[in-house]
Amino acid sequence: MIPESFIQELKFYSDIEQIVSSYVHLSKRGKISVGLCPFHNEKTPSFTVYPDTQSFYCFGCGAGGDVVSFIRRIENLEYVEAIRLLAQRAGLQMPDDTQNDEAARLKMRILELNRQAARFFHHNLTTPAGATGLRYFRERGLSDDTIKRFGLGYSLEGWSSLCDHLKGQGFTERELLEARVAAQGKSGKGCYDLFRGRAMFPIIDLRGNVIGFGGRVIGEGGPKYLNSPDTPVFKKSRNLFALNRAKSSKLDGLILAEGYMDVIALHQAGFDNAVATLGTSLTAEQTQLIAKYCNEVTIAYDSDGAGQNATRRAINLFADVGVKIRVLKMEGAKDPDEYIKKFGATRFKLLLENCNNAIEFEISKLRAKYDIETADGKVNFLNEFSKLMAGIRNPVERDVYVKKVSGELAVSPEAVLQLIGTNVKRKVGSERKKQQRDLKMYVGAGAMGKSNPQRERNLRYALAEERLIALLLKNPDYYEYIAAKISPGDFVTDYNREIFEKISERLQQNQSIEMISLSSVLDIEDMAFVSGLFASQVSEKHPLSEADDYIKTILQKKNEKSSSEVAAMDERELGEYLRTIAARKK
């Protein structure tokens, strides 16, 4: 356990608003701050930070908690690791006993295992058995310096070369399997190398840790690219290849490419602000990560149909996080690597300086889609163009495109603007309906319903329990008053009973029930539940009177009898029961 004194010291240096704002763009609204939720896609901010309670809550997806919960979610960390990261940010020394945490220790072992695996792969390039890998990189035009800078390597063709090496370094078979550098044998005994006969690309996180690998087959057999599956230290959807280097680039913005070789070729040519996804489509988490480091991205995806479709999808994702987009059009080459080889870095730089923005890219696609020389083609083009313009909030930017397109098509700007106005109304109406649907879903199930399966069929009592817990969290001095009138065993729903018990135990031991302290005894979903109570709780003018009302409601359930129990009563028992019911209603 981490000492309570350390948690309180950490709280002093870990203001939630300051830490969250390093991941999410926040806007002040009175005493609170709001922004787009980093845990789900949304266009209207529903993510709220409460400085007074040092908590956050999203009214869209139900994520919530304290600063530790936020770091755990955004960085995919266990509790102790999140505390360690916050301590590092604050310049505090972690207590020694936290090293005993099993999950944290396993992650540290996997990181060390990955580091040793990367060194093994890189060393193979210097051996006769690894000559195939070195030849591949040189044929792709990479210098020895580039190979070294990116830690590139080669996985030998044998079935257990890496496993044997790592076992010799003291790693267990379980650790090899957890790191996903090895796979279990069919018999269930032993393991074999996952990567064999491949050019290896280590994936390095922002703290310099090797968290996974990408492997490109050399020759025939197997999938062309094989990427590390998700592990305790690696989530493909939350990381980017070469961001550890690109974040320090002096060049403006980032270049987003499709593959490892594109990125490495760009860095070698001097464009050290290039990054790539990790064998999957771009995700919302990755766009949020990029938004932390720049406000403009140049998309340099392949020029084929799949690449163009991926570009359109990326444009929509980046719009949700407020990042400006430019789109590279590489005529005469399918990707940045090929373009630089054919035309050189100087031509590529000119291409970057003159590439289209996202709107121009979409308009060019519409021009290619419709024959604007015909009346039908012109009408269809303008219908889709107006929908595109309806999404632009800046009236000056919209006016520029309207004048340009209306002039090209010999249509009055007024007619185009009228069409855009119609689509704006439709768009606003559609978004409003979606918000109402989302709100209905939230109110109907919400974070409370997700946590407490008994809530819906005991709604009246569950609400009273939740409000009593929230009142206690805000007014811990009232614990003795509340505890004298109700015990955890009186609660109707099991989930709320467990939360109330954990809070009561801390208060009985004179321990803090502030959010950052509760995160040591509540899991990440329980913290979201508690944060939701803070977010939805109405301020009580008379807390003790309110507490009495909540307690009275909860106890009513305890005193209720089922119809079968009432039917089995004799005359005396029935009379007493009815008098009790009548007294409660007064």
Residues 6+ apart with CB under 8 A from 546: 467, 471, 540
Q: Hey, CA dihedral for 400, 405, 411, 417, is it positive or negative?
A: negative
DSSP β-ladder status, 254-257 and 296-300 = parallel
pTM above 0.85, yes or no: no
Q: Could you give the CA distance from residue 522 to residue 1 in angstroms, rounded to a whole number?
A: 13
Count Cα atoms within 13 angstroms, Cβ side, for 480.
Answer: 3
Contact 329, 356 (CB under 8 A): yes
Count Cα atoms within 13 angstroms, Cβ side, for 222.
Answer: 15
Distances (CA, A) of 392 to 300, 362, 429, 434, 507: 23, 13, 16, 19, 53
Query: Which residues of the chain are under the pLDDT cut of 70?
Result: 96-101, 427-450, 537-541, 559-569, 573-574, 577-586
Read off φ and ψ for residue 301, nearest 5 degrees. Answer: -75, 165
Nearest Cα to Cα of residue 133 among 201, 184, 197: 197
pLDDT at site 446: 46
pLDDT at site 577: 64
pLDDT at site 440: 43
pLDDT at site 476: 92
State the amino acid at position 331 in one-letter form.
E
pLDDT at site 433: 57
Contact 305, 348 (CB under 8 A): no
Contact 511, 476 (CB under 8 A): no
Structure tokens at 524: 């990440």
Long-range pairs for 349-354 at CB < 8 Å and ≥24 separation?
Answer: 349/271, 352/255, 352/271, 352/298, 352/328
Nearest Cα to Cα of residue 540 among 484, 474, 463, 443: 474
pLDDT at site 426: 76
Q: Could you give the CA distance from residue 277 to residue 299 in angstroms, rounded to a whole number?
A: 12
Cβ atoms < 10 Å from Cβ of 583: 8
Residues 6+ apart with CB under 8 A from 271: 251, 255, 345, 348, 349, 352
Q: Could you give the CA distance from residue 7 to residue 83 in angstroms, rounded to a whole number?
A: 8
pLDDT at site 445: 39
